A and B are shown apart, each in its own frame.
Chain A
């Protein structure tokens, strides 16, 4: 199948550990942020989103943190599992409907 993110930054974690994936966004006018997970040969899968009036949002095993001062977004995955292995993209929406995606980070989970 296709390979997503051949030369992306890679985060390697041991199964069961927590993972933190970081993203710097570009537009201070952006008010909506999303994390997507993309497995090889598949389209991006929605994980969690956050709006600019919030600093933190939690989902199932995932937490997104937003620091508007330094234009930084992070995704925390608790108790990382082999099924979490994928490329993770952050995306921002600067008052428009289209999404602007970041470069992506490959997460590798080893036993």
Chain B
């Protein structure tokens, strides 16, 4: 079956531009997660949704980062006024339920801020 999909796969932005990254979770998965992966490091948690509710946004690095999942399916991660330090791979994962269900990851969006 279809896995988690993300778009675009690659995004180049000039410093100061706004970007929007999209995640399509596995159909029927209740939970959705965003992670940030810097080059050479493991993914780091950004935020978590259960259906449309954002239950944890403790990992968002600044108020320039905003995520939404208005209908409990597709999610968008928005970064305003991008900075060079925002350059990373942004990974989306979904799980069937919550509380320790296996998280399945998408291919990621590689963001490069010039």
* Residue ranges of A at the interface with B (Cβ–Cβ < 8 Å): 2-8, 31-32, 34, 36, 41-46, 49, 51, 89, 91, 93, 96-104
| Chain A-chain B contacts (Cβ-Cβ < 8 Å), number | 70
Residue of chain A at shortest CB distance from B45: A98
Q: Can you list 10 A-B pairs, Cβ within 8 angstroms, ordered by A?
A: A5-B40, A43-B105, A46-B102, A46-B104, A97-B48, A97-B99, A98-B59, A103-B42, A104-B41, A104-B42
Whether A100 lies near B45 (C-beta < 8 A) is yes
Whether A3 lies near B42 (C-beta < 8 A) is no
Answer whether A7 and B91 are a contact pair too, CB < 8 Å, given A32-B100, A97-B31.
no
Cβ of B106 < 8 Å from any Cβ of A?
yes
Answer whether A2 and B43 are a contact pair too, CB < 8 Å, given A43-B105, A93-B100, A96-B56.
no
Whether A3 lies near B44 (C-beta < 8 A) is no
Cβ of B39 < 8 Å from any Cβ of A?
yes
Distance A49 CA – B101 CA, assembled complex (angstroms) = 10
* Residue ranges of B at the interface with A (Cβ–Cβ < 8 Å): 4, 31, 33, 35, 39-45, 48, 50, 55-56, 59, 89, 91, 93, 95, 98-100, 102-108, 110
Most buried by A among B43, B48, B55, B56: B43
How far in angstroms is the closest Cβ of chain A from B45? 4
Distance A2 CA – B37 CA, assembled complex (angstroms) = 12
Answer whether A7 and B45 are a contact pair too, CB < 8 Å, given A42-B107, A43-B108, A97-B31.
no
How far in angstroms is the closest Cβ of chain A from B18? 23
A98 touches which of B4, B33, B89, B102 (Cβ 8 Å): B33
Distance A45 CA – B102 CA, assembled complex (angstroms) = 11
Whether A43 lies near B4 (C-beta < 8 A) is yes
Answer whether A43 and B45 are a contact pair too, CB < 8 Å, given A2-B110, A6-B40, A98-B33.
no
